[in-house]
Amino acid sequence: MAPLDKTLDPLYYSIRTNNLNLWYGAFQALHDVNVQIRNGRITSLIGPSGCGKTTLLKCFNRINERHSYVKTSGETFILNKNIYDPDVSLIELRKSVAMVFQRPNPLPVSVYENIVFGLKLHNPRHKLKRSFLDETVEKALTEVGLWKNLSDKLNTKATLLQLEQQQKLCIARVLPLKPDVILMDEPCSALDVEGTRAIEELMFEMRNKYT
């Protein structure tokens, strides 16, 4: 692939890779990938099924490394920090680089608990006041356009929502951790035309706040 453009300020980009390669065992899935993804933009990866789009996305928060047979080489920078540096915390990286998957995957708990799950996971419970959690839930649901419809259904089990609402909830769930980048792996593939339009409009509205 084309070499990186080194004439621009690195902070101009949220994500950069330099000769990124990845192997699943003996199979090489990525070959010398060089990409530059600008801050605050919607960037699409287009290609046939199986060409490595999802694999590349999972490199950006190192989720691929959950599998012991995965090996990578090259460099990946998030906000000008090499994510393979020894001082990088995977927990902090995955807070900064959130991911929304193809099919909605809300937790089998209430709408409210889905939104605050990340906060409870990363903070001592005694430091999370109920008023703060309530405000966080309202803010996240408002940002994805769900507050009006779900404000009186916060105790409803999230898996009972419509698919479009479930996917919006999955997006809302990552917002309280204040990510810099949100990776979306075909987030509309399980939705109908109207649901797809709703998610695409939401992405457009959020484009200046996140990459």
Q: Structure pTM?
A: 0.85
List the one residue out of 117, 114, 208 whose CA is nearest residue 167. Answer: 114
Q: How do the domains of the chain map onto residue ranges?
A: 10-88, 111-206
Residue 211 clears pLDDT 90, i.e. is over it: no
Cα 203 to Cα 63, 113, 133, 199: the distances in Å are 23, 23, 24, 6
pLDDT of residue 66: 84
Q: Give the pLDDT band of residue 33 (cuts 50, 70, 90).
A: very high
The mean pLDDT of 165-176, rounded to a whole number, is: 91
- The span from the CA of 108 to the CA of 114, in Å, is 8
Q: Give the pLDDT band of residue 123 (cuts 50, 70, 90).
A: confident
10-88 has which fold? Rossmann fold (3.40.50)
Give yes or no on whether 10-88 and 111-206 have one common fold: yes
Residue 6 clears pLDDT 80, i.e. is over it: no
The mean pLDDT of 75-87, rounded to a whole number, is: 92
Length of the chain: 211
The mean pLDDT of 48-69, rounded to a whole number, is: 89
Rounded to the nearest angstrom, the gap between the alpha carbon of residue 75 and the centroid of all alpha carbons in its chain is: 20
111-206 has which fold? Rossmann fold (3.40.50)
